[in-house]
Amino acid sequence: MEIGRRVWAIAEGYIPGWSNGPGHDFISHEAACILNVSDKEANIEITIYFSDKNPVGPYKLKVPAKRTRHFRFNDLKDPAPIPLATDYSSVIVSDVPIVVQHTRLDSRQDANALITTIAYGQ
Amino acid sequence: MEIGRRVWAIAEGYIPGWSNGPGHDFISHEAACILNVSDKEANIEITIYFSDKNPVGPYKLKVPAKRTRHFRFNDLKDPAPIPLATDYSSVIVSDVPIVVQHTRLDSRQDANALITTIAYGQ
Amino acid sequence: MEIGRRVWAIAEGYIPGWSNGPGHDFISHEAACILNVSDKEANIEITIYFSDKNPVGPYKLKVPAKRTRHFRFNDLKDPAPIPLATDYSSVIVSDVPIVVQHTRLDSRQDANALITTIAYGQ
Amino acid sequence: MEIGRRVWAIAEGYIPGWSNGPGHDFISHEAACILNVSDKEANIEITIYFSDKNPVGPYKLKVPAKRTRHFRFNDLKDPAPIPLATDYSSVIVSDVPIVVQHTRLDSRQDANALITTIAYGQ
């Protein structure tokens, strides 16, 4: 069974500049949660778009067959880390169908705030 | 009238590891809210995908005709409970059209945080 | 220009049972935000689905041409108010294309939590 | 590669009337995050719909080729600013395909609340 699309976009993107709360879980972050239900490894390329400079990428990631990966944009390092407190967007292209959901945890104030949406799949 | 799809996916999945607040309502949880407007009972199978092990399922659920059920992933027990503080995704398959919406309540900090999105329907 | 669909569903539905904060704005509530860009008044019927009893409705609403209305489910009274702290879902049918977005404000704890999603349009 | 649609709608719209927290980041606001991956500048027109008066617009914006812009509705001034604490909706039309995501930061209470959803694309 195939589920998903090969091209996805997340127009919102912003990693808050600071954090409150204990440990790795409460570091302010954005994630692309990627589900690959196929029986082939997904080779994924993410391109990051900015408001005032050329796009950066591709960031190359893999999601094994029948697995999910919740990638933090904070952890993308190659070709360049994503600056904090900066507007961006992302395009995610895979060689097999995947499903992409966008999430942010913002722990800048005393209690954390969360957002999520299924990305735009094409 | 038929409303919905027979195959849905939620790429984000994470049940926070602890909770604050009074009673069952404020236990950190994730839910799949499933609406069945048809005049037949929906037989539903959920499969849970992980980052580092094989999928688990199917979890078998029913939603009666013309009813809604807000299932907490915390309550899924057979074939195995979903571990807390662990990344997962879910695929939801029904024999009649349904509508699926994903929600999380995270009460780890002093005030609760909420997320929701209509799932990816195919 | 026509924008939207005539049939929408919101699978999540839950009006929190209590509230904190000043005035009408901070009463815990759910809303269906409905946009009608057409040049005809939209005649809308909402049906509410429950987990353990028959659907209730239709609730009849109008959105004038080229207007938006953010209806609180809390305010639906005829044929019956929606009980608080109770799982429900809604189906929204219009005679002209509309766009529907679901929102909840939950002010049970010290800071409010918010959710939103574009509804499922068919 | 083309990604997106030329017509988008956001049925929810509400800029909270006050704010807590340090600086520009924590001013309660709504944003339309717009991604243009095409190689042409996007000429965008936003029309704002209200509950009790005629639509206002178009607000004319540009997103350069291969760029993203996160526009705050708070910053729209021409032909008229959007009143605070007022229900509205928006329609966003572009001459090239774009992707639109809606976000609100509500900092009226001690901790901020966030919402997001991919807009309705047609």
Whose structure tokens read 């949406």?
A117
Q: How many Cβ pairs within 8 Å bridge chains C and D? A: 96
From chain D, the residues in CB contact with A102 under 8 A are 116
**CATH of span C5-100:** 2.60.290.11
CB contact under 8 A, A102 and D111: no
pLDDT for B21 equals: 85
D71-94 residue pLDDT tens = 999 999 999 999 999 999 999 999
Q: Where are the domains of chain C?
A: 5-100
pLDDT for C35 equals: 98
Q: Using CA atoms, how far apart are residues B101 and C108, in angstroms rounded to an integer?
A: 22
CB contact under 8 A, D69 and A87: yes
Whose structure tokens read 């001459």?
D95
pLDDT for D22 equals: 83
Which of A51, A106, A117 is facing D68, going by the closest CB pair? A51
CB contact under 8 A, C111 and D109: yes
* Residue B80 CB neighbours (<10 A): 11
% of chain A with per-residue pLDDT over 70 = 100
Which of C21, C112, C121 is facing D120, going by the closest CB pair? C121
Q: What is the DSSP string of D22-61?
A: STGGGS-EEEEEEEE-SSSPEEEEEEEEESSS--EEEEEE
A4-53 residue pLDDT tens = 999 999 999 999 999 988 889 999 999 999 999 999 999 999 999 999 99
C51-72 residue pLDDT tens = 999 999 999 999 999 999 999 9
Which of B54, B85, B120 is facing A66, going by the closest CB pair? B54
Q: Which of residues 49-108 of A touch D (CB under 8 A)?
A: 49-52, 54-55, 85, 87-89, 91, 102, 104, 106, 108
C58 CB-near residues (< 8 Å, 6+ apart): C45, C46, C47, C93
What's the complex ipTM?
0.96
Q: Is pLDDT at A97 greater than 90 in this prediction? A: yes
How far is D90 from chain A, CA to nearest CA, in Å? 17
CB contact under 8 A, B70 and C49: no
A49-85 residue pLDDT tens = 999 999 999 999 999 999 999 999 999 999 999 999 9
The mean pLDDT value for A92-118 works out to 96
Q: Does D117 touch chain B (CB under 8 A)?
A: yes
User: In the structure encoding, which two tokens stand for residue D16, read together?
Assistant: 């909270």
* Domain D5-121 fold: Hypothetical Protein Tm1070; Chain: A (2.60.290)
From chain B, the residues in CB contact with D111 under 8 A are 110-111
Q: Does C117 touch chain A (CB under 8 A)?
A: yes
pLDDT for B48 equals: 98
B57-83 residue pLDDT tens = 999 999 999 999 999 999 999 999 999
D32-61 residue pLDDT tens = 999 999 999 999 999 999 999 999 999 999
Instruction: Report, as ranges of residue numbers, the positions in chain C whose pLDDT lies below 70.
Output: none
